[in-house]
Chain A
Amino acid sequence: MLKFPTRRLVKIDVAYAKKAALGVAMGAVGAALFLFAFPGGSISTLMHDVLHLPGPGAGIAAVFGPFLIFVLLLSSLLTRTRGVALIAALAFVVSCMVLVQVHGARTNPKGAFGSLLFLAALALLGLAIEVVLVLSSAFRPARQCLLTGAVANAVLLIFYWLVIFPRTASWVKWKDVPVLMGICLVTGLLAGYVAWLAFQPLSRVLALGDKE
């Protein structure tokens, strides 16, 4: 009588561990790709000196937030398991810390990469993705992704404005808030939609791998 539930519990744990491992891998690969593709100062230069957008927060709203939302939302969609977005976010932070400390990857000090505040920001982002995905479960998956992307990007930007930028750069000006928030919502929607688009072929590939 006791054997069946124990086996089932172990089976569920193994399945969850596999999904969590996929989340960790996606977070780690995402961090490595981000630090490789955007060395310190590149996003800031693009935002403020090329596109002439106001700051601080344009880089978070237009590049960093959408990139993270893509990685975390995709990991959550692929595993279809609660908590994996949060796990992937924590893996992203740990990988960033390791790459910055050990490998000496260049980052912008404004973003506080690898600090405890950075950990808090990404944990909040992962949590926001999880909560919005649960609350919007009545919607169609594509709309769910759009909503999650926009809300999560706004949460990350507001956290940076209130907690990180006052320490590393400056307070955001009230007159810049509408522009930056508009960019943040549009890019968040886009990131959610792109994650949804990428999920469909990838889920087929992963399902094929499982069958084989």
Chain B
Amino acid sequence: MCGPADFGALHTSLTRLAALFAGGVATYAVSRLVSFCRRLRLKRRTQEEARSHLLRTLPVQVSGEHSNS
């Protein structure tokens, strides 16, 4: 009724499932790493922009203070 057992096919199936699982885990890990690097780069760029903005605005304020006094 159920046909002859094919343990070779079952072994192949388990090997391929393990390979697919490993591939999936590796892909997920790489995607997480890429998103982490992107976030880190974005954060660094934001900090640099904030610093440069501060450096640009600071002398203006100082000169403004001088003119007021």
Number of B interface residues, CB 8 Å?
Answer: 14
A interface residues with partner B (beta carbon < 8 Å):
33, 36-50, 55-56, 106, 108, 110, 169-170
Q: Is there an interface contact between B12 and A42, defined as CB atoms closer than 8 Å?
A: yes
A-B contacts counted at CB < 8 A amount to 55
Interface majority SS on A: helix, strand, loop or mixed?
A: helix
The listed residue (B2, B3, B12) touching A39 by CB distance below 8 A is: B12
Q: Is there an interface contact between A170 and B1, defined as CB atoms closer than 8 Å?
A: yes
The listed residue (B1, B6, B13, B16) touching A55 by CB distance below 8 A is: B1
Residues of B contacting A55 in the complex (Cβ-Cβ under 8 angstroms): 1-2
Nearest CB in chain B to that of A38: its residue: B13
Q: A33-B20, A37-B13, A37-B16 are in contact. Are A42 and B2 (CB under 8 A)?
A: no
Residues of A contacting B20 in the complex (Cβ-Cβ under 8 angstroms): 33, 36-37
B55 is an interface residue with CB less than 8 A from chain A: no
Q: Is there an interface contact between B1 and A42, defined as CB atoms closer than 8 Å?
A: no
B62 is an interface residue with CB less than 8 A from chain A: no
Report the separation of the CA atoms of residues A44 and B9 in the bound assembly, to the nearest whole angstrom: 10
Nearest CB in chain B to that of A36: its residue: B16
Q: Is there an interface contact between A39 and B13, defined as CB atoms closer than 8 Å?
A: yes
